[in-house]
Amino acid sequence: MRVLLLSFCCGLIFMLLQTTLFAAVLPPELRPNLLLILVVYLSLNESFSRAALLATFLGALQDVFSGTTLGLYAITQLMIFMLVRLFAARLNVESRRLLLILLSAGTLMQAVVISFLLALFADAGAVLQILILSLPAQLLVNLLTGFVLLNLLLKVQPLLGTRLGMAGIPYQSKHHGA
């Protein structure tokens, strides 16, 4: 429960940074998507039900704070969580490189899902062009931010009294080989 509350508070801080400070200081193509990074990390390091609930709730909060179509980011974050979780069941989830690769895939998937949903539910001609043009810069910024946050997390873990390193999906190890 403590980890869930800490993750939720971290998500709120990321949301505030993303929608206020980064929006005021950075140009749109250089703003990292901190919530996407958190959703990918949670999908690898938290139980399925907790992480799915948190990803959906943080996506809904993102809709409230910065979305134009209500439910767009909630669906997108949940889909990214499900896809990362699907791949994580078949890969070595203790790898730092895997987190960065899944973050890249999550960034691409977010652009595809948002483009599809906006094309389906809204008149999104100009929005799709903006998403496609900003995708390479967004991918690079998310990777750099994810790398920095991962290294920061690994340095802060001993101070928080949590396990050292990236242990991957902790609940998967209970049923490994079963």
Token readout for 80 is 């990214």
Write the CATH number of the domain with boundaries 2-164.
1.10.1760
Q: For residue 41, count CB atoms less than 10 angstroms from its CB and return exposed for 0-12, middle for 13-18, buried for 19 or more.
A: buried
- Chain CA centroid to CA 6, Å: 16
Spatial distance between the Cα atoms of 61 and 85, rounded to a whole number of angstroms? 22
Beta carbons within 10 angstroms of residue 125's beta carbon: 9
Q: Is the pLDDT of residue 177 over 50?
A: no
Q: Is the pLDDT of residue 147 over 80?
A: yes
Whether the Cβ atoms of residue 139 and residue 101 lie closer than 8 Å to each other = no
- Chain CA centroid to CA 154, Å: 18
Model confidence over 13-41: pLDDT tens digits? 998 998 889 989 998 888 899 999 999 98
Tell me what pLDDT residue 164 has.
Answer: 52
Looking at residue 30, what DSSP letter applies?
G
Domain boundaries, the chain: 2-164
Looking at residue 163, what DSSP letter applies?
-
Q: Is the pLDDT of residue 145 over 60?
A: yes
* Alpha helices by DSSP H, the chain: 2-16, 22-25, 34-45, 48-66, 72-88, 96-121, 125-160
Model confidence over 85-142: pLDDT tens digits? 988 878 777 778 888 888 999 999 988 888 888 777 766 566 667 677 778 888 999 8
Q: Once rounded to an integer, what is the mean pLDDT over residues 62-89? A: 87
Tell me what pLDDT residue 125 has.
Answer: 63
Mean pLDDT of the chain: 81
- Chain CA centroid to CA 25, Å: 22
